Amino acid sequence: GAASLACAPASSTDDSPRAATSLSHMRSLEADLKLSQGAPLRVFVGTWNMNGRQCNDQDIASWLALPTHESPPDVVALGCQEFVALSINSMLLPSVKQRVAFERLVAAMLS
């Protein structure tokens, strides 16, 4: 299937387009899970404290490195901490370009 990537959590009170997409995606995953009950589900969970630095494809590849002898996971859940530098400017005005570049790198690694 097609890879989907959402970097920001969506709350049930958030009415933004991204929140609606995330909620719709979660409902779709829930429906898929109900159809496949009984089958084993492989999950990869990763977290990364980026310490406010930008990463490159080698950083992401080593973070997401899975043993080659195993089947790929069905679900990938990733979390990042300190994605932006811990300065007032970067926390109040986070870089959309940086987030989009990161999302594209991760999506490319997962596809």
29-83 tens-digit pLDDT: 777 777 666 677 888 888 888 888 877 778 888 888 877 777 888 888 888 888 7
Looking at the chain, the whole-number percentage of residues with pLDDT higher than 90 is 0
The verdict on residue 29 lying in a domain is: no
Residues 3, 27, 33, 48, CA torsion sign: positive
The verdict on residue 10 lying in a domain is: no
Q: Which two tokens stand for residue 17?
A: 């387009």
Mean pLDDT of the chain: 74
The verdict on residue 66 lying in a domain is: yes
Structural domain containing residue 65: 41-110
Place of tokens 């992401």: 60
This prediction has a pTM of: 0.54
pLDDT at 100 over 80: yes
Query: What's the farthest any 2 CA atoms get from each other in the chain?
Result: 49
Q: Which of 65, 59, 111 is nearest to 80 (CA)?
A: 59
Tally of structural domains, the chain = 1
Q: Which two tokens stand for residue 56?
A: 């490159």
The verdict on residue 36 lying in a domain is: no
The verdict on residue 67 lying in a domain is: yes
The verdict on residue 6 lying in a domain is: no
Residue 45's φ and ψ, nearest 5 degrees, are: -120, 125
The verdict on residue 55 lying in a domain is: yes
The verdict on residue 76 lying in a domain is: yes
56 and 49 in contact (C-beta within 8 Å)? no
* 2: confidence class by pLDDT, cuts 50, 70, 90: very low
DSSP state of 102: H
87 Cα distance to chain centroid: 24
